[in-house]
Amino acid sequence: MGIDVWLPKDALPAENVELEIPQAVADVAPEKPVAIAEAQQQQAEPASLDTDVSTLDWEALQTRVTECRLCDLHKSRTQTVFGVGNRNADWLIIGEAPGADEDRQGEPFVGRAGQLLNSMLQALDLAREDVYIANILKCRPPQNRDPKAEEVAHCMPWLQRQIQLIQPKVILALGRIAAQNLLQTNTSLGRLRGRLHYIDMTPTPVIVTYHPAYLLRSPLEKRKSWEDLLLAKKTLESGVS
């Protein structure tokens, strides 16, 4: 398995997407309660509800995130990881949370998984600079553990404001954690793949696929991920919303 190895652009023609995409595939991880839903149950009034982000412009938003101490992750972070890319992008890529490399460099998807994501984008004729890349969480969880419910609840408004500002034409959720928290569902990643989803705050369709870090461990799943990317491309080109 090498980072440079990615399915060629003609591996699965775009016109075959509807026929080729399976209705359901195996789960990539055991199901667990969705963090955001847990948080809403556990906290009658999350601190993030006091934070009115709906009028912030990019500069103000980035400043607020940089200074954010709404959850305990601020204690262990090297720096916040705000997001990177084209702020007028058609594509918004959403991952889980910063890892060690991202925490160090302040940019999402810069390690091996990031290199694979770049290859995935290249296969779609997209440069990293053409899309916007962000995470559910802006700060690294220690030892890369899964985000806690309260962390997601506090951090989600920052991402929601980014979505409002970008107004992307398609959102690609990478991995189970990103997908389940974005869509507020317990449904497995395998069952979320292959169709369009919608979240309350935007008419933008959301498409779910595997996290590049998972693909590094399970290269045989690359073909399914390629199908997901083609579905996203086709959705964007057809103007579905």
Enumerate binding residues for ligand SF4 (CB under 6 A): 65, 68-71, 73-74, 80, 137-139, 151, 154-155
CB of 80 to ligand SF4, least distance (A): 5
Q: CB-wise, 77 or 176, nearer to ligand SF4?
A: 77
Considering the complex, state which of residue 83 and residue 114 has its C-beta at the smaller distance from ligand SF4: 83
CB of 25 to ligand SF4, least distance (A): 31
Instruction: Specify the residue, 137 or 183, whose C-beta has the smaller distance to ligand SF4.
Output: 137
Residue closer to ligand SF4, measured from CB, 123 or 137: 137
Q: Closest separation between CB of residue 160 and ligand SF4, Å?
A: 12
Q: Tell me whether residue 154 or residue 233 sits nearer to ligand SF4 (CB atom).
A: 154
Tell the smallest beta-carbon distance from residue 96 to ligand SF4 (Å). Answer: 12
71: left (phi over 0), alpha (psi -120 to 50) or beta: beta
CB of residue 139 to ligand SF4, shortest distance in Å: 3
Is 51 within 8 Å of 158 (Cβ atoms)? Answer: no
Single-letter residue type at 4:
D
